[in-house]
Chains A and B, each alone.
Chain A
Amino acid sequence: MREHLVNGNPTLEQMPLGTGVSLRAAGEWTVHHAPDLEKIVMRAERQGAEGGIIIDVSQVARLDTFGAWLIERMRRNLTRGDVSPRIAGLSADYASLVEEVQRVKEGDFRKKEPLSIVRAVEAVGRSVVEIGGTLLGLLNMAGSILYAMGHVLIHPRSFRLTSTVNHLEQVCWRAVPIVLLITFLIGCIIAQQGIFHFRKFGADVFVVDMLGVLVLRELGVLLVAIMVAGRSGSAYTAELGSMRMREEVDALRTMGFDPTEVLILPRIVALIIAMPVLAFLGAMSALYGGCLVAWGYGGVQPDAFLARLKEAISLSHFAVGLIKAPFMAMMIGVVACVEGAAVKGSAESLGRHTTASVVKSIFFVIVMDGLFAIFFATIDM
Chain B
Amino acid sequence: MPDTINDPIIRVRDLTVGFEDRLILENLDLDVKRGEILGFVGASGAGKSVLTRTIIGLMPKRSGTIEVFGVNMNEASEEQRRAVERRWGVLFQHGALFSSLTVRQNIQFPVREFMKVSERLLDEIAIAKLAMVGLKPEVADRFPSELSGGMIKRVALARALALDPEIVFLDEPTSGLDPISAGDFDELVMTLQRTLGLTVFMVTHDLDSLKTACNRIAVLGDRKVLLVGTMNDMLASQHPWLQAYFHGKRARAVVA
Contact = CB atoms under 8 A, between A and B. Distances in A.
B141 A66 contact: no
A35 interface: yes
A100 B197 CA distance: 14
Nearest to B126: A109
A344 B100 CA distance: 11
Nearest to A37: B121
Given A93-B197, A111-B141, A345-B145, A100 B132 contact: yes
A349 B146 CA distance: 13
Scoring A34, A101, A103, A347 by chain B CB atoms within 10 A of each residue's CB, the highest score goes to A34
Contacts of B144: 345-346
B195 A69 contact: no
B132 A65 contact: yes
A70 B144 CA distance: 28
A56 B45 CA distance: 52
Contact of B145 (A31, A73, A96, A346): A346
A38 interface: yes
B125 A69 contact: yes
Contacts of B100: 346-348
A100 B117 contact: no
Interface residues of A, number: 30
Nearest to B137: A108
A30 B196 CA distance: 12
Nearest to A352: B100
Interface in A53-77: 64-66, 69-70, 73
B159 to A, nearest CB: 13
Interface residues of B, number: 32
Contacts of A104: 124, 127-128, 131
Interface string A80-117: 00000000000001001100110111001111000000
Contacts of B118: 35, 38
B116 A345 contact: no
A51 B242 CA distance: 64
Interface string B108-128: 000100011110110111011
Contacts of A69: 121, 124-125, 128
Contact of A31 (B124, B137, B146, B164): B164
**What 8 A-B pairs have minimum CB-CB distances, sorted nearest first?**
A345-B145, A346-B99, A108-B137, A348-B100, A64-B164, A109-B123, A96-B195, A97-B195
Given A35-B117, A346-B99, A349-B99, 12 more contacts: A35-B116, A65-B125, A97-B195, A97-B196, A100-B131, A105-B137, A108-B137, A345-B99, A345-B146, A346-B144, A346-B145, A348-B100
